[in-house]
Amino acid sequence: MEAINNIPVSLYKKLSDKLVSIILDSDDRDAISAEVTKKIIYLWRQDQLASPTGIETLLRAGVKVDQIAVEKILDDLGLEEVIVGVRTL
């Protein structure tokens, strides 16, 4: 997703924390696949959730769980151009 390039590195940690919260707080345990869950766990173990790959993985998972909440977080962080990219997922 090219929109990741529009996210300042300084926001990676904050954004990843918020996206993880959305994913973990979801009542729909089947919203994301086992494969994506394993990828998130792998990235977490490697301390890579706040990397471009981690952010993209969390955004894709977050959109499947609660797209409105993800868009609100992106809007709150001033990442309107990323919202456009998220809507195409």
d(CA 44, CA 37): 11
pTM: 0.94
Residue-level pLDDT, tens digit, the chain, 89 residues: 788 998 999 999 999 999 999 999 998 888 999 999 999 999 999 999 999 999 999 999 999 999 999 999 999 999 999 999 998 88
Whole-angstrom distance, CA of residue 88 vs CA of residue 14: 23
- Residue spans of the domains in the chain: they are 32-89
Q: Is 79 helix (H, G, I), strand (E, B) or coil?
A: coil
Tell me, what's the pLDDT at 14?
97
